[in-house]
Amino acid sequence: MPVAAAHDGGETYFEVHGEGPAVVLFNADPRPPDHPLRDHAVRFAESMVRGLGDRYRVVLMSYPGRPKDLTFTPDNVSDDMLRVADAAGIDGFAWWGYSFGGVVGMQLALRTERVTALAMTGFPPIGGPYAEMLRYSRALAGVEVDAFGAAIPEEQRAQLPQFATFYEAMAGFDDRAAQPRITCPRLCFVGGEDRITAGTELITDIGGAVERHRAELEALGWSVEVIPGLDHFGATAADVVLPRLSGFLDHHVGPR
């Protein structure tokens, strides 16, 4: 079973499929936990491997594994991602991440030149709602049922406090000032109706933030798309992600 040692002494399970330039898919869990969306997650990972594995070395992972409540910081998470890359035998790699995975990818690209291309879905590269997500993460730690009304398994509830740790460590982070340090090719696409809510309370408008900053992002070198009608979850469908990600990768890092 391929595993990488994590910063806390735990292990990160990962899989590698195909040959060619490496691409790490943070949000394609090859062993998703039991959850109402588990079947969707399994089909998504399988679709991404089928769509990319003929010409890319696709790395999937199950992360974060055991809870890392007090050590789940951007530095340590980035270190864990590089440990996975090392264990998979890859040096440079493209990255795709959705929502929190997009946040991780951007933090990783700020810390290492091994990221050859950065693709984010469901989070704005400028105007990121870090303070809002901190409040949301703290609130989630006390939630027992998910948006579908189903009880959240204890294994997943145990994971929630660490995200507050992550966003606490990002206090004062200026994503606009950080932009010149990201020099690899960059892609951001989100749903036009992408909003994170807690019940009827709006936490943040992801689609609106990307649209507001579109011109600035494009001037900085980002490829940007706001997809009409799609919400936060809808932008993770394989038929949405795969054509956009594969076109981006084929143009910037594909086999020559």
Residues 166-219 pLDDT 10s: 999 999 999 999 999 999 999 999 999 999 887 778 989 999 999 999 999 999
The percentage of residues in the chain with a pLDDT greater than 90, rounded to a whole number, is 77
- pTM given for the model: 0.94
- Of the listed ranges 79-83, 145-149, 182-186, 194-198, the least confidently predicted one is 145-149
Query: Residue 20: is its pLDDT beyond 80?
Result: yes
Q: What is the average pLDDT value for the chain, to the nearest integer?
A: 92
Q: How confident is the model at residue 131 (pLDDT cuts 50, 70, 90)?
A: very high
With bands split at pLDDT 50, 70 and 90, how would you rate the model's confidence at 145?
low
47-52 long-range contacts (CB < 8 A, ≥24 apart) are: 47/238, 47/242, 48/238, 48/241, 48/242, 49/17, 49/18, 51/238, 51/242, 51/246, 52/18, 52/23, 52/242, 52/245, 52/246, 52/249
β 57-62/11-17 pair status: antiparallel
* DSSP secondary structure letter of residue 92: S
> Exposure of 118 by Cβ count < 10 A (0-12 exposed, 13-18 middle, 19+ buried)?
buried
- Which of the four pLDDT bands, split at 50, 70 and 90, describes residue 111? very high
Dihedral through CA 187, CA 192, CA 197, CA 199, nearest 10?
Answer: -150
Tens of pLDDT along 218-256? 999 999 999 999 999 898 899 999 999 999 999 999 886
Q: Is the pLDDT of residue 143 over 80?
A: no
Query: Distance between CA 23 and CA 116 in Å, rounded?
Result: 9
Per-residue pLDDT at 1 exceeds 80: no
